Chain A
Amino acid sequence: MPAGTPKQMALVETQDLVKNYVLGGETVRAVDGVSLSIDRGEYVAIMGASGSGKSTFMNMIGCLDIPTSGEVRIDDIATGDRDGDALAELRNQKIGFVFQQFNLLARTTALDNVAVPLIYAGLGSEERRAKAKAKLGEMGLGDRLDHSPAKLSGGQQQRVAIARALVTDPVILLADEPTGALDSKTSEDIMQIFQTLNDQGITIIVVTHEAEIADQAKRRIEFRDGKVIEDVMIKKRRQTSA
């Protein structure tokens, strides 16, 4: 490494990020000039009232949505210059998504659901099966491989979705209200999984309304009207049980 190495490269970096929606001639500034940087290994909770722009922000750093202006860099890659296919590849290799509504394919087994990203990574069917099976095993679903979503509980479905998000070994896990559709007991299981994943070194960015999740994160970012109004490191970590 050359001498005088600059500060560690940020994993996610946004610069004056803006997203406007035009509705009936009126412009809504959903995200209004957000500049921040998230490092490798962080566990970030994004909070804020409904409509404050959290999801819009997440979708842009997840390269699902195109900013009106400003820039998103993922792992030092400027996303603005990339076309749709290049962004698809970036999502496939570097980003895992967990959605509030799980978004599993209906009438498709847990194993096949988890293997979907590997299809687009170009893996052969044997390799896809092996990897998907291993990830489901890690999520404690080794005995549910052939179950379709309809035969799984909400918590189990979300664990399938997490396995799917992680199966390509991404550097970031983006979760938009992952426990929003779950009861509090199941939510705790999911939180536990997130904690373990972060301990293993995966960077996690999670949008949540729940204080418990926010407490377990290392950093909290608060949105209001499309702007960041608070961005704090949480020093003391809650005791992790078990």
Chain B
Amino acid sequence: MIGNLGQKASGWIVNIAIAMTALRTNLMRSILTTLGVMIGVFAVTLAVAVGSGAQVSVMQSINALGSNMALVFPQPDTGEGGRRSFDRGRLTMRDARAIEKQISGIDDIAPQLRTNIQLIVAGRNASTNAVGTTPGYGKVSNLVAASGRFISEADVRSAARVVVLGPSVVTKLFGDYDPVGETVRINRAPFKVIGVLESKGSSFGNDNDDIAIMPITTTRQRFSGDTLAGPDDLQMLFVGFEDGVSLPTAKREITKLLRDRYRVRGKDINPFTIRTTEEFMKESAQVTGIFQIVLVAIASISLLVGGIGIMNIMLVSVTERTREIGLRMALGAKRSDIRNQFLVEAAVLCVIGGAMGLIFAIAGGTALTVYADFPVPIGVGVGIGAIIFSAFIGLLFGGYPAVRASRLSPIEALRSE
């Protein structure tokens, strides 16, 4: 039994040796055929990696928001249909305070007014997005001051002219210098830099560090008083929850509270919209999933073309070597021997092509990660999968030519020229 297995194994080794000889004999043709599979495996591997990279990226940027959070916007929620009793969205600071007081499980809240600002110091200038908010913003957004401090309740109460800068803004204005305590001019008014944020990197080519944070009261007074309808209006409210709080339940409670406050009845449209991080995650997983399927489908076409190339070359090879097949049959080769010989040849072509495709995909993925700032993880699993998959392509597309070779009649094969 063991001896028999040994013979079988050596039979495969012989088949591989025969295949390698045949491939070497037609080196140029073998290389060109391999190229097709190489491009196919390269494309599929990279597509899978880019897809999962996108997923990772999206999840990262959602996580950067804070993991357990509801976002409330003053936009009428038209999702459910019904009568619209408001001419515009509603969300005020008083609503925020009510939510904070009456909803359970809240960690902190962060109302927001955003505006673009121009910063100038010693002839250098930078423009960035300023978030007017409260100290809670640091907690719900996982922002920490790397140097100096974050804004305080006192800053908010007194509408202090203080600002916390993101690292990118600091680099633009001050270079390597720590600006805490310095004064910058924002839209011509002097502001004191009280802190610098810890870097949050970037996601999707979007620089999370290009930001400035100041008390919401300051923003309201200086920058956006006239853009809002009411003096108490908010652009957005972050509500951060403690771990383990059910976001769907919390969303229902906030909805009920705000509906009561605005006296929305029955099926009427709410003047506000609530989204949770959980919903964002689900939606992005769906979107990136579709994105990945489309990418892989397109890439698979090139692998299919590569496979057809293999089949084409194997058919040529079988035709060219009909006489050799006849001779081998005369010398005792069974059908399975002939079939395996050609299957191995196709599989060897594909595995070599697959390995090269994988190497190029790893190179391409690394280049994307380094230069395009987009994570493209090519794991061991993807690599092994690519090789196995290309062997499978070889067997699939080499199968027909191999079976055709094995069906030849020995004498007709021998007679062919």
Contacts and interface: CB of A to CB of B under 8 A. Distances in A.
B332 A121 contact: yes
A30 B332 CA distance: 26
Contacts of B65: none
A122 B410 CA distance: 20
B260 to A, nearest CB: 85
Contacts of A62: 330
A120 B330 contact: no
Contacts of A105: 324, 327
B192 interface: no
Interface in A58-76: 59, 62, 64-66
B11 interface: yes
Contacts of B323: 103
A66 to B, nearest CB: 8
A103 B334 contact: no
Contacts, number: 67
B281 to A, nearest CB: 59
Given A119-B14, A120-B337, A64 B330 contact: yes
Interface string A53-95: 0000001001011100000000000000000110011011100
B411 A91 contact: no
A20 B127 CA distance: 94
Interface in B194-243: none
Interface string A88-110: 11011100010100010101100
Given A59-B411, A103-B327, A105-B324, A89 B11 contact: no
Contacts of A168: 332
A24 interface: no
A89 B335 CA distance: 11
B10 A125 contact: yes
A88 B411 contact: no
B329 interface: yes
B20 to A, nearest CB: 12
Contact of B7 (A66, A85, A108, A122): A122
Given A107-B21, A119-B11, A85 B332 contact: no
Contacts of B414: 64, 99, 103
Contacts of B1: none
A85 B407 CA distance: 11
Given A103-B323, A120-B337, A92 B11 contact: no
Contacts of A85: 334-336
Nearest to B329: A88
A66 B25 CA distance: 34
Contacts of A99: 414
B6 interface: yes
A124 interface: yes
| Residue of A89, A105, A119, A168 ringed by the most chain B CB atoms within 10 A | A119
B331 interface: yes
Interface residues of B, number: 25
A226 interface: no
A4 to B, nearest CB: 38
B333 interface: yes
A92 to B, nearest CB: 3
B160 to A, nearest CB: 87
A124 B330 contact: no
A64 B11 contact: no
Interface in B129-182: none
A110 B21 CA distance: 15
Contacts of B328: 116, 120
A77 to B, nearest CB: 15
A220 interface: no
A178 interface: no
Nearest to B24: A107
Contact of B332 (A59, A65, A91, A107): A91
A124 B6 contact: yes
A210 B14 CA distance: 40
Contacts of B10: 124-125
A105 to B, nearest CB: 6
Contacts of A88: 329, 332-335, 410
A120 B329 CA distance: 9
Interface string A110-140: 0000001101111111000000000000000
B13 to A, nearest CB: 8
Interface in B294-343: 323-324, 327-337
A97 B331 CA distance: 8
Contact of B411 (A64, A108, A124): A64
Given A105-B327, A120-B332, 16 more contacts: A62-B330, A64-B411, A64-B414, A65-B410, A84-B335, A85-B334, A85-B335, A85-B336, A88-B329, A103-B414, A116-B328, A120-B328, A120-B331, A123-B7, A124-B10, A125-B14
Interface of A: 59, 62, 64-66, 84-85, 88-89, 91-93, 97, 99, 103, 105, 107-108, 116-117, 119-125, 164, 168
Nearest 7 A/B pairs, CB to CB? A92-B332, A120-B332, A65-B411, A117-B331, A122-B7, A64-B411, A85-B334
6 contacts: A65-B411, A84-B335, A85-B335, A88-B332, A107-B21, A124-B10
Interface of B: 6-7, 10-11, 13-14, 21, 25, 323-324, 327-337, 409-411, 414
